[in-house]
Structure 1
Amino acid sequence: MKKFFLFFAAIMLIVLSACSNSSGSNSGSGKVEVTFWHSMSGPLQETVKKIADEYNKSQDKVHVTPTYQGTYEDALTKFNAVAGTKDAPTIMQTFEIGTKHMIDSGKIQPVQKFIDEENYDTSQWEKNISNYYTVDGKQYSMPFNSSTPILVYNKDAFKKAGLDPEKPPMTYSELKDAAKKLTTGDQKGFAILNYGWFFEQLLAEQGGMYVDNENGRKGDAKKVAFNDEKGLKVFQLISDMNKAGTIYNVGTNWDNMRASFQSGKIVMFLDSSAGVKNLVEDSPFEVGASYLPVPDGVDRQGVIIGGASVWMSSGIDEDKQKAAWDFMKYLSTPEVQAKWHVESGYFATNPGAYNEEVVKQEWGKYPQLKVTVEQLHNTKASTATQGALISVFPEARQNIVTAMESLYQGVDPKKALDKAAEETNKALEQSK
């Protein structure tokens, strides 16, 4: 037994020594080790690794190790467990609706510190993207993968129905009329995923607020604002089209929605701009892309960015923070953002990337990508299009999903929306 304990103790010393060696610079190379937790799966995981590898080769002071941590929700749970300790990642990727949580955690270092220290020019960033992660004039994180919703449609089906494929619907009435003409047999004219993000976007397009206190950007939100006449217009649209039999309930699964489009079950639907390229490549017909429709007579305001940003941990060595900032700046260069835009479909956070030859060639093959960028650039900066800041966003989105689903069962739009508001207000109250 004594030999066992001596053996166990020896093993533990080796493990502890290994852990100690791995937590500083890069295995004795003298480079500062930066750990980058992210949620980019599949081919994008390889793209992130390639970017990190190219950065590591470009200089000899910092080594970045990107590590996939599962979904945004999974990664955030892991981060919460180690935030503020030496085991925290140097850089953490978090989805946009986690912004309020990250700020309130007190476990992050706002990048504004480094912006101020070296007078870094943030005007090179896409303003309508970086605005989301700016609160009270302070830049908390650096935008990374950003997308917005767009209207996607089957141009071939438009032609067959006698509609102009170069004139997609821009208003709710035009959407209803087009959907009616496109609905035939098993084919439905329109679909919208039961997902809170799309409701938020259709609300912001009208200049509508999701919560009070200027979307939670002039102080903590006390109650929701989305169940006003602007929010009701969105729910009424879905309800009206359901009664007319021109909308298809695709549920909550993105893949099922896209498969329904590609198989011809639906002609128009809302999708993420990041998914457009794959749709064009995989669809057996010509794919069109357009702006989100707005209610008749409404002045179009624009869209809120989705996706995620990268955050810097607090409570870690200053040299690691500086190394993380150096990598963040590298991520923001036009050259890197051009590659990211082309390979991922996400927007370039640095618009200078759109002047790169690789992007010009890509837009020549996929003009739909240019439409998504134009919609973003035409967005009017306001607290509506800046996006809401609340700590209970996941719950709020689920409440909207439940309400959207109920519309297909014939529930009154106002009752459905008010129910979602009531449940979200409870969550806001309990979060205080």
Structure 2
Amino acid sequence: MRRHIVKFTHQLAALALAGTAILSTASFAQEQVNLTWQMWGDEKDTPLFQSLADLVTAEYPNIKVTPQFSGWTDYWTRLPVLASSGQIADLVAMQSMRMPSFYGVLEPLDPFIAADNFDKSAFESSIISGLSADGVQYALPYDVGPWLMFYNRDKFAEAGLAEPKPDWTFDDFKAAAEKLTSGDNYGYAVQAFDFVAQPVALGAEYFNDANAFDLTNPGYEAAVGKLVDLVAVAKASPVFASGAGAQTGSGRFAAGNAAMVIDGPWSLLTTQASVGFKVGVAPLPRGEGPSRYITAGSGWGISAASQHKDEAFKALKVLTGPKAAEILASAGRALPGRLAEQKFWYDVAAKDIAGARETLQYSFDHSTPFRLNESWNEFENLLTQYLPLALNGDNTTDAVLADIQSQLP
């Protein structure tokens, strides 16, 4: 009898130990994980993005996400410093145009996507590509957009001009810009990036087949020359200036001193809310060939230094998921990268913008890959620095492009 009691006691002890192990495992599985989420913006953005962070905790109670903001310029300056010092956040915002320079701070997402059977086809294909490097996915998108032509509908009406159609040509655009120019009021306000987006719309390429810069090819020179002539010869746009405090093309448009400017859907709603006239949008004017447009956008990835990558991917799915996209779109913060949720931006945030849905859908239907390499940001800076020489008539377009080309790898 005693032997049975001892044996039973030992069995109870074993069961207790097993139960303790099970409880410990369950407790470990639900251990609280605090993720930091680094992005550009300012403190006024906190409530909106905190509402997205709260979605993560609602889905995964053991995961808490804390947004952290810094200004646009500071963000890109600090990012490599934070990465090298091990202080980078778990979740990191990434802009597609800067992906070639910064993807090294991010964890490749392909293993997580494969293990989760995650459906990338729910997103606009151009931004999925834009947040990749060498065929590897490094971030998932929250917004996307092509460059568009913003125009002042009131000025078009006053001048007796028909509003632009989706397939309008550069000749149509030039004629409108010239007619809308009078004294200190211009038909158009050129900006540095226009010399990338508009030449592509005209059918030009600034890269060769090896994805190296080729700014002196005849097609790109001719396309840039069209814009230069609009400023230097037709005087339908002021020369853009890059110095601190200089008035931007977008600023001239908002002030009513320029009737057209190239910008993106990311600033469309704030522009409309801040001006005293009706804003319309159209695709960029095409050349003699078919329309084609580059798109860009932003998303979030997982830092390579994160100690909580599995939890970070769970959070990432929520932050780029349908409900988060609906919140951002309805608030006018982003045209979603998610296709199904773009309706909230069109139907709620942009419902009063003439041509928004038609223009954007036409542009996506005619999109072309945005070609980038690791020297892209240097290229953009050189355009800003040297193109005013051609716009002022101090140098020829061909000479300026040759000078920029000589400074690129």
Q: TM-score, normalised by structure 2?
A: 0.83
In structure 2, which of residues 281, 290, 303 is the aligned counterpart of residue 299 of structure 1? Answer: 290
Give CA deviations for 1:53-72 in whole Å, capped at 9, x if unaligned: 3433443021111101332x
**Would you say 1:352 and 2:340 are equivalent positions?**
yes
Code of the residue aligned with 1:248 in structure 2: it is P
Mapped contact 1:273–1:372 kept (Cα < 8 A)? no
How far residue 414 of structure 1 moved from its aligned partner, in angstroms, is: 1.0
Alignment of 1:156-305 (within 5 A): 156-165=154-163, 167=165, 170-193=168-191, 195=192, 197-213=193-209, 215=211, 223-242=212-231, 243-252=233-242, 256-295=248-287, 297-305=288-296
1:288 shift after superposition = 1.1
1:372 CA displacement: 5.0
1: CA distance, partners of 2:54 / 2:372: 34
**Partner of 1:311 in structure 2?**
301
CA contact (8 A) 1:169 1:175 kept: no
- Taking the aligned partners of 2:171 and 2:337, their CA distance within structure 1 comes to 34
> Which deviates further from its counterpart, 130-139 or 147-156?
130-139
> What corresponds to 2:80 in structure 1?
80
The one-character-per-residue Cα deviations of 1:211-266 (angstroms, maximum 9, x if unpaired) are: 33453xxxxxxx31233223223321222112112112243479743332233311
* Deviation for aligned residue 1:321: 0.8
Larger radius of gyration: 2
Q: RMSD of the alignment, in Å?
A: 2.6
2:90 aligns to what?
A: 90
SS at match of 1:316: coil
Identify the residue that residue 61 of structure 1 maps to in structure 2: 62
More deviation in 61-70 or 200-209?
A: 200-209
Deviation per CA, 1:369-394, whole angstroms, max 9, x where unpaired?
424531442134xxxx3223322222
Paired letter, 1:347: L
* Contact 1:36-1:64 within 8 A present in 2 as well: yes
> How is 1:326-337 mapped onto 2 (pairs within 5 angstroms)?
326-337=314-325
Deviating 4+ runs (over 6 angstroms)? none
Q: Residue 150 of structure 1 contacts residue 291 of structure 1 at CA under 8 Å; is this kept in 2?
A: yes
Identify the residue that residue 37 of structure 1 maps to in structure 2.
38
User: Per the alignment, in what secondary structure is the counterpart of residue 260 of structure 2?
Assistant: strand
- How many residues of Structure 1 are paired with residues of Structure 2 in the alignment? 376
SS in 2 for 1:337: helix
Distance in structure 2 (CA, Å) of the matches to 1:132 and 1:112: 15
Return the alpha-carbon distance in structure 1 between the equivalents of residues 201 and 161 of structure 2: 25
**How does the TM-score come out when normalised to structure 1?**
0.79
Find the counterpart in structure 1 of residue 101 from structure 2. 101
Residue 154 of structure 1 and its aligned partner are, at CA, apart by: 1.2
Instruction: Encode CA deviations 1:270-298: one digit per residue, 9 max, x unaligned.
Output: 11221111222222222111001122x12
For the Cα contact (< 8 Å) 1:338–1:359, is it kept in 2? no
Equivalent residue number for residue 19 of structure 1: none
Letter in 2 for 1:365: D
Alpha-carbon separation, structure 1, partners of 2:379 and 2:88: 28
- The residue identity in structure 2 corresponding to 1:230 is G
Unaligned runs of 5+ in 1: 1-28, 216-222
Whether the aligned pair in 2 keeps the contact of 1:109 and 1:313 (CA below 8 Å) is yes
Once the two structures are TM-superposed, the CA of residue 359 in structure 1 deviates from its matched residue by: 4.9
Is 2:377 the counterpart of 1:387?
no
The separation in 2 between residues aligned to 1:372 and 1:165, in whole angstroms, is 12
Return 5+ residue gaps in structure 2 as ranges.
1-29
Partner of residue 9, structure 2: none
Instruction: Mark the CA change 1:413 to 1:276 in structure 2 (over 3 Å): closer, same or farther.
Output: same
C-alpha distance after superposition, 1:78-117 (max 9, x if no partner): 33234266533111113323212233x3x42111110011
Q: In structure 1, what residue type is equivalent to 2:290?
A: D
Q: 1:56 to 1:182 in 2, by over 3 A?
A: same
Pairing partner for 2:365 from 378, 385, 397: 378
Distance 1:207 1:172 in 2: 11
Matched, 1:423 2:396: no
Aligned-pair distance for 1:330?
0.9
Distance 2:194 2:353 in 1: 24
Quick check: 1:126–1:350 contact (8 Å CA) kept in 2?
A: yes
Identity rate of aligned residues, in percent? 19
1:146 aligns with 2:144: yes
Structure 1 counterpart of 2:331: 343
| C-alpha spacing 1:308/1:355, structure 2 compared with 1 (3 Å) | closer
Kept after mapping to 2: 8 A contact 1:347/1:373:
no
Q: Tell whether the 8 Å contact from 1:302 to 1:378 is kept in structure 2 after alignment.
A: no
Over 3 Å counting, the alpha-carbon distance change for 1:254 and 1:67 in structure 2 is farther
Structure 1 SS opposite 2:187: strand
**Partner Cα separation in structure 2 for residue 70 and residue 159 of structure 1:** 38
Q: Is the 8 A contact 2:188 2:261 kept in 1?
A: yes
Maintained 8 Å contact 1:201/1:304: no
Does 39-48 or 147-156 show the bigger shift? 39-48
Select the residue among 302, 311, 332 that pairs with 1:323. Answer: 311
Change (3 A) 1:209 1:236: closer
Supply the AA of the counterpart residue of 2:377. Answer: P
The 1:132–1:65 alpha-carbon spacing in structure 2 relative to 1, beyond 3 Å, is same
**Structure 1 residues 316 and 169, CA gap change in structure 2 (3 angstroms):** closer
